[in-house]
Amino acid sequence: MTIFAERKQLVGPGDVLAEGPYFAGENTYRDGSKIFSSRVGMAEVIGNKLVVMPFKGAYMPRLDDIVLGRVTDIGMSGWQVDICSPYPAMLPASETPMHRGRDSVRQDLRTIYGVGDLMIAQVIAFDRTRDPLLTTKGRGLGKVSSGLVARITPTKIPRMIGKKGSMITMLKKETGTDIIPGQNGVVLVTGGNPDQERTAVEAIYMIEREAHTTGLTDRVKAMILERTKGTRVGQ
Amino acid sequence: MSATHQPTPLAKLEQKTIQEIILKGQRIDERGPLDYRPLTITLGIVEKANGSAQVYLGKTKVLAGVKIQTGTPFEDTPNEGILTVNAEFVPLAYPTFETGPPDENSIELARVVDRGIRESKAIDLQKLCIEPGKKVFVVFVDIYILDHDGNLIDAAGMAALGALVNAKMQEFEWKNNEVRYKETKMLLPMQNYPVPITSVKIGNSVIVDPCLEEEQVMNCRLTVTTGKNNDVCAMQKGGLGTFTPEEIKQIISSAIQKSKDLREKIISKVN
Amino acid sequence: MGNKEKDKVRLLDDKGLRVDGRRLDELRPVKLEVGVLDKADGSAYIEHGRNKILAAIFGPREAHPKHIALADRAVVRCRYHMAPFSTDERKSPAPSRREQELSKVVRESLEPSIMSEYFPRSTIDIFIEVLQADAGTRCAGVTAASLALADAGIPLRELVAGCAAGKVDGKVALDLSDIEDKKGDADLPVAFMPKSNAVSLLQMDGSMTEDELKQALDMSINACRTIYEMQKEALRRKYHVEREEEEKEEVAEVKA
């Protein structure tokens, strides 16, 4: 019984992580008595489960994920929404708070969301046999009419949030903006003046670029302070 | 662009039946793992073609025709005749064969058969030069798949070989800077007789000459084409599975052996 | 009439060295770089001898048109293509029969490594562009495409490495160059997955005895193992991580 991988060790497809009675967690697979990584990422040992935290990858929707999506089509009973996933999502009209129930005529739907509109939604269903279903009934969900949008690799969202929210709290505080991360890699920045919002977006892209380096929080904070030198209002 | 093929029309249960029977060393049509299906070769079936051959391999039916015409040689081989091989997966041969330009399967088959003939130097292309650098004979080999019940490559390769050994052309001579055709006919000058042998891996077993259902269940296939002196002149792996190096070496050995029987069968038809 | 002996080129000199000075069992220099394109989901660039090949991946992504999708797994699509300026004589940009065959052969060499059952009803698109060709392009293309798939974060059983062997002047030789492929006696392209001991690409043309074939196969498989290590090294270079000092832990070795 041996674990070959160190915590946070860089591994790639086919690299052996462990041999013996361990569990093959996310992004690993078992072949015979050994567990292998299936993706490029960092190996983690959680109890007796081996997982790999991947650097890159397509967004696979999970139940309860908050996502930002763009309407691409209006159908008889809802909208098709692009959530930057291999699977187009559906927002049924019945899952919007404004919908009055019967008579979902196409014109009515267009007054709620038109093609191209951006929304914050939550995933309420997804499995191998059908496309993801969304809802906008819920606090903070619904159409987005202002702010800046940043699109990063979905695997970097956890880094952008940080341990116990440490990174995102710093970002919001130092830039004076509100930041809403979609699990699908689309991030909304609102609430500040244009310069503050642009700085926040810059910070987000910096985090994406340097996600796996040390001292990132401090460096991002320094970058923000540098950019907003002389333009900060109070604080 | 090449894309993953649509899944086999066999239900999982039917696939399991075939896999289990192969594990026992048997096959659904009661052959042994190294047995070919009944093979019938008929030469000269299309009189207007220079040469032709019809192959029935089990229920698979392939017709090959050879047309020999004149043409200009390639720049880098000014004194050599030209060989060109084409394959048509005729729509009447299988419900999902469609009209239109050759698809990747048809192209692959034609190129594998071509390789066998070309690399074994089966046709003495030097003897097909009429006027050096200006005029040579072009040998068109057209493979017509008429009924698809598996192992099209071997059936096509044997049909092509049969058509070539059967092919006749006008005798000619190059004299005083002009070509003179004689009354008599001569056989297309052949010096090797390449035979493709296709093996298929199902589970961990290897069988030869797959019928259609065996092909639909296979991991992958390996075609080995051998010439008359046991020299291998072409190989092609196909399918989504993989072979171990040991399996490959085993397949090569048995294919070289097997090709002798089939070559004999084809050559003996000429007389 | 034709005299085939007149133009016979010597591919081995008196010391048994090849036209480019290599020994029979020597691999051409290989350079690999991962993540070279911005818009593709994954990408890699390879220089293998004088081959220069770019590979890019898009996917998994929505299947267009919908009817090509498979219900229980991703459709893998592959395009092997040569740029018009890549060869000695200009090559027409239209896909040739050779490119169509190689697109199929290359797809079939990579698909066994892709865990496509994770992405039903989607497509994974592989694009291989040969910018400069010098024999062994399909093998080098497979090497690069496999890295590009890993770069895209697509789950793979392992990487696939490719290398050809062949025969020149009657001797089995590794990794033929263009002139050796054109004037030599045989060519054997191979792609191999070392961990699974699995050959996923195998072709041959020319003339070889059974023993020569086995020798060439072993030679190319060994070279594939070497290239596999280079692929892993290229991934390490791209994703170099500085470990958090505070979080460094001992290697956990639990012996039963």
Domain ranges across chain A: 2-53, 66-144, 148-228
Residue C211 lies in a domain: yes
All residues of chain C having their beta carbon less than 8 Å from the beta carbon of residue B119 are 186, 205-207
pLDDT tens for the 271 residues of chain B, in order: 999 998 888 888 889 989 999 999 999 998 999 999 999 999 999 989 999 999 999 999 999 999 999 999 999 999 999 999 999 999 999 989 998 999 999 999 999 999 999 999 999 999 999 988 999 999 999 999 999 999 999 999 999 999 999 999 989 888 887 778 888 999 999 999 999 999 999 999 999 999 999 999 999 999 999 999 999 999 999 999 999 999 999 999 999 999 999 999 999 987 6
Which pLDDT band, with edges at 50, 70 and 90, does C2 fall under?
very low
Backbone angles phi, psi at B167, to 5 degrees: -75, 135
Give the pLDDT confidence of A51-94 residue by residue, as tens digits: 999 999 999 999 999 999 999 999 888 999 999 999 999 999 99
The pLDDT value recorded for residue A101 is 57
Between chains, do A12 and C150 touch, taking CB under 8 Å as contact?
yes
The pLDDT value recorded for residue C3 is 43
Residue B209 lies in a domain: yes
Q: Which of A220-234, B211-225, C67-81 has the lowest mean pLDDT?
A: A220-234
Residue B57 lies in a domain: yes
Compute the nearest-CA separation of C251 from chain A (Å): 5
Backbone angles phi, psi at B5, to 5 degrees: -70, 160
Give the Cα separation of C105 and B170 in Å (integer): 40
pLDDT of residue A34 exceeding 90, the answer is: yes
Cα atoms found within 13 Å of the Cα of residue A133, Cβ hemisphere only: 15
Chains in contact with A, counting 3 or more C-beta pairs less than 8 Å apart as contact: C
pLDDT of residue A144 exceeding 90, the answer is: yes
Between chains, do C202 and B222 touch, taking CB under 8 Å as contact?
yes
Between chains, do C151 and A40 touch, taking CB under 8 Å as contact?
yes
B86 φ/ψ sector (left φ>0, alpha ψ -120 to 50, else beta): beta
Between chains, do C122 and A45 touch, taking CB under 8 Å as contact?
no
CATH value of A148-228 in 3.30.1370.10, 3.40.50.300, 3.40.50.2000, 2.40.50.200: 3.30.1370.10
ipTM comes to 0.89
Q: Which residues have a Cβ under 8 Å from the Cβ of A19 and sit 6 or more positions away? A: A1, A2, A4, A33, A34, A35
Percent of the residues in chain C that have a pLDDT greater than 70, as a whole number: 91
Between chains, do C2 and B252 touch, taking CB under 8 Å as contact?
no
Residue B126 lies in a domain: yes
Q: Which of C62-76, C184-198, C241-255 has the lowest mean pLDDT?
A: C241-255
Mean pLDDT of chain C, nearest integer? 90
C74, C78, C201 ranked by CB distance to B2: nearest? C78
Cβ–Cβ pairs < 8 A, chains B and C:
137
Alpha carbon C145 to its chain's center: 7
The CATH number covering residue B184 comes to: 3.30.230.70
DSSP, collapsed to helix, strand or coil, labels residue C142 as helix
Between chains, do A214 and C254 touch, taking CB under 8 Å as contact?
no
Between chains, do A8 and C243 touch, taking CB under 8 Å as contact?
yes
Between chains, do C153 and A58 touch, taking CB under 8 Å as contact?
yes
The pLDDT value recorded for residue B9 is 83
The pLDDT value recorded for residue B213 is 94
Q: What is the mean pLDDT of residues A225-232?
A: 76
- Residues of A with a Cβ under 8 Å from any C Cβ are 1-3, 6-8, 10, 12-15, 20, 27, 29, 31, 36, 38-40, 42, 45, 54-58, 86-88, 128-129, 155, 212-214
Residue B140 lies in a domain: yes
C77, C188, C210 ranked by CB distance to B256: nearest? C210
> In terms of pTM, does the model score above 0.80?
yes
Q: Which residues have a Cβ under 8 Å from the Cβ of B137 and sit 6 or more positions away? A: B68, B69, B70, B71, B81, B82, B128, B129, B130, B169
Residue B228 lies in a domain: yes
Whether B contacts A, i.e. 3 or more CB pairs less than 8 A apart, is no
Alpha carbon B259 to its chain's center: 12
Q: What is the mean pLDDT of residues C3-14?
A: 70
pLDDT of residue C56 exceeding 70, the answer is: yes
Give the Cα separation of A148 and B199 in Å (integer): 60
**What spatial distance separates the first Cα and last Cα of chain C, rounded to whole Å?**
78
Give the pLDDT confidence of C243-255 residue by residue, as tens digits: 343 233 222 222 2
Q: Which of A35, A38, A131, A155 to mutate to test the interface with C (most CBs of C within 10 A)?
A: A38
The pLDDT value recorded for residue C254 is 25
All residues of chain B having their beta carbon less than 8 Å from the beta carbon of residue C5 are none
The CATH number covering residue C203 comes to: 3.30.230.70
Find where tokens 């049509």 sit: B29
Q: What is the mean pLDDT of residues A220-233?
A: 80
C1, C76, C125 ranked by CB distance to B126: nearest? C1
DSSP, collapsed to helix, strand or coil, labels residue B73 as coil
Give the Cα separation of B139 and B164 in Å (integer): 9
Between chains, do B2 and C79 touch, taking CB under 8 Å as contact?
yes
Compute the nearest-CA separation of C228 from chain A (Å): 11
Which pLDDT band, with edges at 50, 70 and 90, does A129 fall under?
confident
C1, C68, C201 ranked by CB distance to B132: nearest? C1
All residues of chain C having their beta carbon less than 8 Å from the beta carbon of residue A2 are 253-255
C149 vs A98, higher pLDDT: C149
Residue C67 lies in a domain: yes
CATH of domain A66-144: 2.40.50.140
CATH of domain A2-53: 2.40.50.100
| Range(s) of the domain holding residue B140 | 12-268
C232, C241, C256 ranked by CB distance to A1: nearest? C256
Looking only at the bridges linking them, the beta strands covering C198-208 and B232-238 are: antiparallel
Q: Which of A31, C32, C219, C186 is nearest to B119 (CA)?
A: C186
Give the Cα separation of C45 and C27 in Å (integer): 18
Percent of the residues in chain A that have a pLDDT greater than 90, as a whole number: 68
Is residue C240 within 8 angstroms of chain A, CB to CB? Answer: yes
Give the Cα separation of A2 and A12 in Å (integer): 19
How many domains, in total, are found in chain C?
A: 1
Give the pLDDT confidence of C192-231 residue by residue, as tens digits: 999 999 999 999 999 999 999 999 999 999 999 999 999 9
Compute the nearest-CA separation of C10 from chain B (Å): 18
The pLDDT value recorded for residue B199 is 98
Residue B5 lies in a domain: no
Residue C119 lies in a domain: yes
- Residue B37 DSSP code: P
Give the Cα separation of A65 and C172 in Å (integer): 58
Which pLDDT band, with edges at 50, 70 and 90, does A108 fall under?
confident
Between chains, do A212 and C239 touch, taking CB under 8 Å as contact?
yes
Whether B266 contacts B195, CB under 8 Å: yes
Between chains, do C209 and B241 touch, taking CB under 8 Å as contact?
no
Between the CA of residue B189 and those of B126, C26, C158, what are the distances in Å? 9, 40, 49
Compute the nearest-CA separation of B47 from chain C (Å): 30
Edge to edge, the sheet with strand A16-19 lists: A2-3, A16-19, A34-37, A28-31
pLDDT of residue A225 exceeding 80, the answer is: yes
Residue B6 lies in a domain: no
Residue B7 lies in a domain: no
How many domains, in total, are found in chain B?
A: 1
SS (H, E, C) B213-234: HHHHHCCEEEEEEECCCCCEEE
User: Which residues 33-72 of C have a C-beta within 8 angstroms of B?
Assistant: 68, 70
